[in-house]
Amino acid sequence: MLQLKPLDPAFPIQRQMSIPASPVVLVNVFTVDAKDVDALLKAWEADANWMKQQPGYISTQLHRAVGQSTTFLNYAIWESTEHFRAAFAHPDFRARLGAYPDSAVAAPHLFQKIGVTNLCTA
């Protein structure tokens, strides 16, 4: 089963989900034992396909660290924290966490775009 750990212990995702924001970007860093990479990818793919059907879902992308690393980064864009919270708390999704290998650890966190003059648009 997937273990969840906060990316920022002072402000875990459970607390973030209670704050109205729109849109939001989920950044989720996964680590897994090398022997469990295929199982992680299979479980993530099933989750992503389920999330894709949920209201407020916009897009997702999975990345693997360069080299022999078994660290993965997923980011997903949602219309709002409300939409993400509904999907994350859904019993069907919660049941899916059991499909992840026991060595898998996820550190999810929500972000919003910010503007930086001449660099980034808000």
Q: Are 32 and 101 in contact (CB under 8 A)?
A: yes
Distance separating alpha carbons of residues 87 and 93, to the nearest angstrom: 7
The pLDDT assigned to 66 comes to 98
Q: Does residue 105 belong to any structural domain of this protein? A: yes
The pLDDT confidence band at residue 13, using thresholds 50, 70 and 90, is very high
Task: Please check whether residue 121 lies inside any domain of the structure.
Answer: no
Do the strands 3-4 and 105-111 form a parallel or antiparallel pair, or are they unpaired?
A: parallel
CATH number, domain with residue 84: 3.30.70.100
pLDDT score recorded for residue 122:
86
27 domain residue, yes or no: yes
> What's the pLDDT tens digit per position in 31-44?
999 999 999 999 99
Please check the confidence at residue 117 and state whether its pLDDT lies above 90. Answer: yes
The torsion defined by the Cα of 33, 3, 83 and 86, in degrees rounded to 10, comes to 140
Range of the domain at 86: 3-111
Question: What's the rounded mean pLDDT across residues 54-71?
Answer: 98
Q: How many domains, the chain?
A: 1
Give a yes or no: residue 117 inside a domain.
Answer: no
**Count of all residues that appear for the chain in the document:** 122
